[in-house]
Structure 1
Amino acid sequence: MEVFAVEGLPEVQPGDDVARLVVEQTDLRDGDVVCIASTVVSKAAGRQADLDDYAPGEQARRIADAIGSVTGERKDPRFAQAVVEESEEILTEAPFVLAVTRFGHITVNAGIDRSNVPDADLLLLPEDPTVSAAQLRADIRERAGVDVAVIVTDTSGRPFRLGQRGVALGWAGIPAARDWRGEHDREGRELSATVQAVVDELAAAANLVTGEGAGGTPVAVVREFAFGDHDDSDALYREEDSDVVREALREWSL
């Protein structure tokens, strides 16, 4: 398997054709997995906002005050309001805001970014990354005549571990997971619980070559990845009624 960043992409602007930009900068092949950072998907879709666009409500002011009292640093209630508006549910309000996005991803500050946004204060996540991935896949097929998979990626922190890693927010043309249940290990024991989050692993591999900061390489291609002869699953986010961590967070307060 080969993973490489797509070099030479310009700064993406609202309305840009991301698929065309990618196709112009690399020779894609059938079976490639194109991993595209959510930042460029959001920029092309005009998902930028300014803090002055938000009028803080009672919940946002409470969040800002709670974080300030814990960290000693003032939290802008306008930013807190943006997080509230981009969230289906707020799981924790302090010492940081952990939010459930409208498409099921759980992350700090609803994934709102304040880095590499030259023309606005904030960059919001795509409204539906799986829809975006499907559209990008269709656009790439139309422009390059190749059948690829597309993963819309982001970086996210991890409970119990330091550091961030790449994760998949949306995907098309590839199952979310390899389902190993029913297969056997080397000793002949049947696997009963192993489901491998393939799209997250490919997103993390892509992040190794695209990097963070000012690199300007938000797209990576994974070539010669073989899913293998396994059952597959498109489930990546836990069902709410079986998510014991989410339930515990609802009952926890600082």
Structure 2
Amino acid sequence: MEVFAVEGLPEVRPGDDVAGLVAERADLRDGDVLCVASTVVSKAAGRQADLDEYTAGEQARRIAEAIEAVAGERKDPRFAQAVIDESEEVLTEAPFVLAVTRFGHITVNAGIDRSNVPGADLLLLPEDPTGSAERLRADIREQTGADVAVIVTDTSGRPFRLGQRGVALGWAGIPAARDWRGEHDREGRELSATVQAVVDELAAAGNLVTGEGAGGTPVAVVRGFDFGDHAGSDSLYREEDSDIVREALREWSL
């Protein structure tokens, strides 16, 4: 398997054809997996905003005050309002805002970015990352003839571990997970709980070569990945009724 970055991509702006920009710079082949950072998907879709567009409500002001009291960090209440507006639910308010996005991803500050946003204060996550992945896949096929899979990625922390790693927000042309349940290990024991989050693992592999910060590039190609003869699943986000961490956070915040 190979993983390589697509070099030479320009700064993406609202209305840009991301598929076209990638197709001009990468010799894509059938079976490739294209890992595209959510930042460029959002920029092309015009998902940029200024703090002046938001009027902080009571919850936003309370969040800003709580963060300052607990973490000693001043948080603009308008930023807190942007996070609330992009969220289905706020799970924690301090020392940071942990929020459920409208498409099911749980992350700090609803994934809103304040870096590398030319001409604006904020960059919001794509409204529908899987829909974006499906459109990119169709556009790539139309422009190049290549049948690729597409994963819209972001970087995110993980409980109990330091640091960020690539994760999948949306995907098309590939199942989200390999389902090993019902298969057997080397000792012949039947597997009952193993589901492998393939799109997250591919997003993390892509992130190794795209990099972070000013020197990074937002698109990577994974070539030669074989999903294998396993059952596939499109489930990635844990259902609420089986999410004991989310339930515990709700109880803790009461």
TM range (shorter): over 0.9
Offset at residue 242 of structure 1 (A): 1.2
Offset at residue 216 of structure 1 (A): 3.8
Segments of 4+ in structure 1 off by > 4 A?
none
Q: One-letter code of the match for 2:64? A: A
Deviations 1:20-74 (A, max 9, x none): 0000001000000000000000000000000111000000000000000011121
Offset at residue 236 of structure 1 (A): 0.0
Deviations 1:87-107 (A, max 9, x none): 000000001000000000000
Alignment map for 1:136-175 (pairs within 5 Å): 136-175=136-175
Number of residues of Structure 1 aligned to a counterpart in Structure 2: 254
In structure 1, distance between residues paired with 2:42 and 2:166? 17
Q: CA RMSD in A?
A: 0.8
Query: 1:192 matched to which residue of 2?
Result: 192
Query: 2:229 matched to which residue of 1?
Result: 229
Offset at residue 215 of structure 1 (A): 1.8
Q: Structure 1 unaligned segments of length 5 or more: list them.
A: none
Query: 2:45 matched to which residue of 1?
Result: 45
TM-score, normalised by the number of residues in structure 2 = 0.99
In structure 1, distance between residues paired with 2:150 and 2:253? 39
Offset at residue 253 of structure 1 (A): 3.1
Query: 2:207 matched to which residue of 1?
Result: 207
In structure 2, distance between residues paired with 1:191 and 1:242? 20
In structure 1, distance between residues paired with 2:150 and 2:73? 39
Q: Secondary structure at the match of 2:134?
A: helix
TM-score, normalised by the number of residues in structure 1 = 0.99
Q: One-letter code of the match for 1:210? A: T
Offset at residue 7 of structure 1 (A): 0.1
Alignment map for 1:76-155 (pairs within 5 Å): 76-155=76-155
In structure 2, distance between residues paired with 1:72 and 1:186? 52
Query: 1:74 matched to which residue of 2?
Result: 74
Query: 1:61 matched to which residue of 2?
Result: 61
Query: 1:29 matched to which residue of 2?
Result: 29
